[in-house]
Amino acid sequence: MVEVCSPLREPLVKGNKTLAQITLDVCRPLERRPTNLWWSAFLVSSTMLLLGIVAVTYQIMTGIGVWGLNRTVGWAFDITNFVFWVGIGHAGTLISAILFLFRQKWRTAVNRSAEAMTLFAVICAGLFPVIHMGRPWLAFWMLPYPNDRGSLWVNFRSPLIWDFFAISTYFLISLIFWYIGLIPDLATVRDRAPPGKRKSLFGFFSLGWNGSCRTWHRYELVYLLLAGLATPLVVSVHSIVSTDFATAILPGWHATIFPPYFVAGAIFSGMSMVLCLMIIARKVMHLEDYITILHIDAMCKMVLATSCLVALAYGIEFFTAMYSGNPYEYFVFMNRALGPLAWGYWIMVGCNVVVPQLLWFKKIRTNVLAVFALSLLVNIGMWFERFIIIVTSLYRDFLPSSWSSYTPTLVELATLVGSFGLFFTCFLLFCRFLPMIAIAEIKGVNRYARQPKGGHE
């Protein structure tokens, strides 16, 4: 029997793939030698990572005085990068957990990579609070481990502690959720692998998966429970991060709008990063039949929706500052738009508010190169958003006598480059050794929008 596409819906998998073809297409990058393009990308990312390792080692040995911080600007690049990477990690949980609970079938082609991206982004985020401690070898003090200090514990009112709790919880739940979803595909790779270490390794991590009805039933139940458990993390994690600022008394920070504002911005930047990675993987690994224009279009709509929420938050901030009658609050926001860092503010507005409005047009949403360029601009804009929020509330304080400027040092820039190197190195290794598309889930939607038609091929 041949199949034809529904006149009402576009299929999620193109090319009339058989189940065997899906397995072959997804497993092919794992079973062949890496291409020269993969090696080139890995060389660049590992060089960036090495640069970051050198910079972090130097600043640990010397002290965080090598940063451009001063008595006025106590937070800058380190917290900016921390908040940026936490935001990037939100898209994985959104695509995997929330869209799964809402039964959005298009998520199946991108959820595995988005989950992996979440883990790598959270690892990058977790590095910055540890470095910021000044004595990272004492980071284990934040763990609730048995000790001989009696009633002496960490300060639970410190934002650093709550950041640690949020990041560790988010990473643990995301890791379990990602691994559970991998188990059926690990068993598929195990069955295809020739006898040897590789087969034994995949056999160990597939936990004896046999594909029986009872196994699938238990798997789907656990996956559903983990999705329900992971969903609140999308709201809670970045809400805790935003509370670091909202509980301060500095103008520009103490705002009740910060938790929803930061969550919307996190999803905004995270979805943009997913689009960047998926468009590259789609072309390099020849996955156009699985990551289709339909997937790109759906993610673009989510980027557009969250961009409108972020734009609304920007407007509310200015309205609140003017309506409050507080001269300090009014000054901070006018200084953002017209002060020494106005160039960064308008880059933020241009990339986060103006540019995404192009996604109202379907021709833009279905143009792969345009979407890729737009996604890069959004990530640039979201990094500047965190930088502007943090620095402009600090470098112009209540007293003009304490005003100061801030310029990042080469060590800070190298640390930022190193975090990107860590992220892309981990993602390239993931694409090389694990299925980047959920084989079992993509098979479940293979016949979506297809109608059987009489006749033989």
- What ranges do the domains of the chain cover? 2-144+154-453
Taking only the tens place, the pLDDT of each residue in 60-100 is: 888 888 888 888 888 888 888 988 998 888 778 878 888 88
DSSP state of 4: E
Query: How remote is the C-alpha of 454 from its chain's centroid?
Result: 46
Determine the pLDDT at residue 455.
45
Q: Which single residue is written with the structure tokens 């087969």?
A: 199
Alpha-carbon gap, residue 121 to 148, rounded angstroms: 35
Taking only the tens place, the pLDDT of each residue in 247-274 is: 888 888 888 888 889 888 988 998 999 9
Q: From residue 309, give the alpha-carbon distance in Å to each of 87, 304, 306.
A: 15, 9, 5
Determine the pLDDT at residue 7.
59
Determine the pLDDT at residue 351.
94
Determine the pLDDT at residue 103.
83
Alpha-carbon gap, residue 430 to 113, rounded angstroms: 9
Q: Cβ atoms within 10 A of the Cβ of 361, count?
A: 11
Low-confidence ranges of the chain (pLDDT < 70): 1-8, 149-152, 448-457
Alpha-carbon gap, residue 49 to 373, rounded angstroms: 24
Determine the pLDDT at residue 132.
80
Q: Cβ atoms within 10 A of the Cβ of 146, count?
A: 4
Reduced to 3 states (helix: H, G, I; strand: E, B; else coil), residue 155 is: coil
> In 3D, which of 90, 166, 84 has the Cα closest to residue 125?
84
H-only helix segments in 133-257: 159-192, 197-205, 213-246
Look at the alpha carbons of 54, 60, 62, 63 in this order and tell me if their dihedral is positive or negative.
Answer: positive
Query: How remote is the C-alpha of 322 from its chain's centroid?
Result: 34
Query: pTM higher than 0.85 for the full model?
Result: yes
Determine the pLDDT at residue 158.
76
281 and 257 Cβ atoms separated by less than 8 Å: no
Q: Cβ atoms within 10 A of the Cβ of 390, count?
A: 24
310, burial (CB in 10 Å: exposed 0-12, middle 13-18, buried 19+)? buried
2-144+154-453 belongs to CATH 1.20.1630.10: yes
The structure tokens listed for 144 are 């609730």
285 and 223 Cβ atoms separated by less than 8 Å: no
93 and 230 Cβ atoms separated by less than 8 Å: yes
Determine the pLDDT at residue 352.
94
